[in-house]
Amino acid sequence: MTDTDNTAPKSHGRKTLRPSLKPRALMEDAQLANTWTAQVITLFPDSFPGVLGQSLTGKALKDGLWQLDAIDLRPFGIGKHRNVDDTPAGGGAGMVLRPDVVGAAIELAQQRAQVPLPLIYLSPRGKPFTQSMAKSLAAGPGVTLLCGRFEGVDERVLEHYGVTEVSLGDYVLTGGEIAAQALLDASVRLIPGVLGNADSAEEESHSNGLLEHPQYTKPADWQGRHIPDVLMSGHHGQIAKWRQEMSEALTKARRPDMWQAALGSKTTD
Ligand SMILES: C[S@@+](CC[C@H](N)C(=O)[O-])C[C@H]1O[C@@H](n2cnc3c(N)ncnc32)[C@H](O)[C@@H]1O
């Protein structure tokens, strides 16, 4: 990989980074210190920032509230064709990302990071991603994400680097990139300053263990359907009570697992 190589890692945000495998250039291209950092190791760096470049997360990226470094896995590939994968040991369908290739990309990511970052492999085998994980990532220095493709990543690389596997849900995606963007979106919006006052995260679904109450806006009458009177009453106490009751009823009906957990935490309070 050279400095002019268009497969070089692509960085987004206020500072343009031109990473290279050369140690001197690596130091010159160090990521910004004290800025929440997302490193994404992927075979498809052009898919970043993707939707993260829009709206609040996009503005925050431009404003330097976080930085994004998409590290292309391909240049770490083996031989003339930069092969990144090989057939599964023991046989079977598909291909597996090689540990030497993925390992070299992780090493580069770790050298480029200003501080150690948690290392996550997006994987349907992982522990389910939650709002509390997003909160804890947002409170830290950032994250390094490894996007799998094909049948996934050689197990040894996950063991060697102590990688945490995180799943976006009980279904199988073609690759980790969409999962990475979802995880980053949920985390970045919780970095202080990213959401405006009007977009407070404190009363949202999952932030207090309950689903959010229904929301309404103008017009007051739409297709013969009216906004509940209490919301038009201007009585803040009654509005808050109605919202809490609706929130509890919705959670009970739609997510009995969450409702049981909420009851449990009430009795231990
Ligand atoms: C086709 S999947 C591989 C699935 C793997 N063979 C398995 O059965 O566990 C390719 C890549 O997509 C990503 N991926 C797929 N489903 C995911 C999910 N539910 N959550 C997070 N990442 C996922 C992972 O990075 C994975 O390596």
* Distance in angstroms (rounded) separating the CA atoms of residues 103 and 91: 23
Strand ranges for 192-260 from DSSP E: 221-222, 225-226
Query: What is the CA(148)–ligand 1 centre distance, in A?
Result: 6
Give every CB contact of residue 105 below 8 A, 6+ residues apart in sequence.
41, 71, 73, 76, 146
Predicted model pTM:
0.90
Distance 214 CA to ligand 1 centre (A): 33
pLDDT of residue 15: 44
Residue ranges covered by each domain of the chain: 10-188, 202-268
Q: Are 147 and 184 in contact (CB under 8 A)?
A: no
**Separation of CA 162 and ligand 1 centre (Å):** 18
**For a pocket test of ligand 1, which of 85, 98, 173, 181 has the largest count of ligand atoms closer than 8 A to its C-beta?**
173
The SS3 call for residue 7 is coil
Residue pointed to by tokens 């909160």: 135
pLDDT at 264: 92
Ligand 1 centroid from CA 251, angstroms: 29
Shortest-distance Cα residue to atom 25 of ligand 1: 148
Bridge partners of 146, per DSSP, are 41, 121
Note down pLDDT in tens along the chain; length 269 residues. Answer: 333 344 455 667 654 343 333 433 344 455 788 999 999 999 999 999 999 999 999 999 999 999 999 999 999 999 999 999 999 999 999 999 999 999 999 999 999 999 999 999 999 999 999 999 999 999 999 999 999 999 999 999 999 999 999 999 999 999 999 999 999 999 999 999 999 864 577 778 898 899 999 999 999 999 999 999 999 999 999 999 999 999 999 999 999 999 999 999 876 66
Strand partners, 153: 97
Q: Which of 42, 47, 123, 166 to probe ligand 1 with, by most ligand atoms within 8 A of CB?
A: 123
Best CA proximity match to 187, nearest among 61, 4, 90: 61
Compute the distance from residue 171 Cα to the ligand 1 centre, in Å: 8
Q: Three-state DSSP class for 131?
A: helix
Closest CA to 179 of 82, 17, 51: 51
Q: Tell me the fold of 10-188.
A: Alpha/beta knot (3.40.1280)
- Please report the atom of ligand 1 found closest to the CA of residue 168: 20
Quick one: fold of 202-268? Trp Operon Repressor; Chain A (1.10.1270)
Write the residue with the smallest CA distance to atom 12 of ligand 1: 175
Digit-coded pLDDT (tens) for 189-240: 999 999 986 457 777 889 889 999 999 999 999 999 999 999 999 999 999 9
Distance from residue 192's CA to the centre of ligand 1 (Å): 31
Atom number in ligand 1 closest to CA 147: 25
Output the CA 160–ligand 1 centroid distance in Å. Answer: 20
pLDDT at 8: 52
**Would you call 121 helix, strand, or coil by DSSP?**
strand
Q: How far is the CA of 260 from the centre of ligand 1 (A)?
A: 30
Q: For the chain, what's the residue count?
A: 269
Token pair recorded at residue 200: 């407070």
Pocket lining for ligand 1, CB < 6 angstroms: 122-125, 147-149, 151-152, 167-169, 171-176, 179
Contact 37, 119 (CB under 8 A): no
In whole angstroms, what is the distance from residue 142 CA to residue 47 CA?
Answer: 19
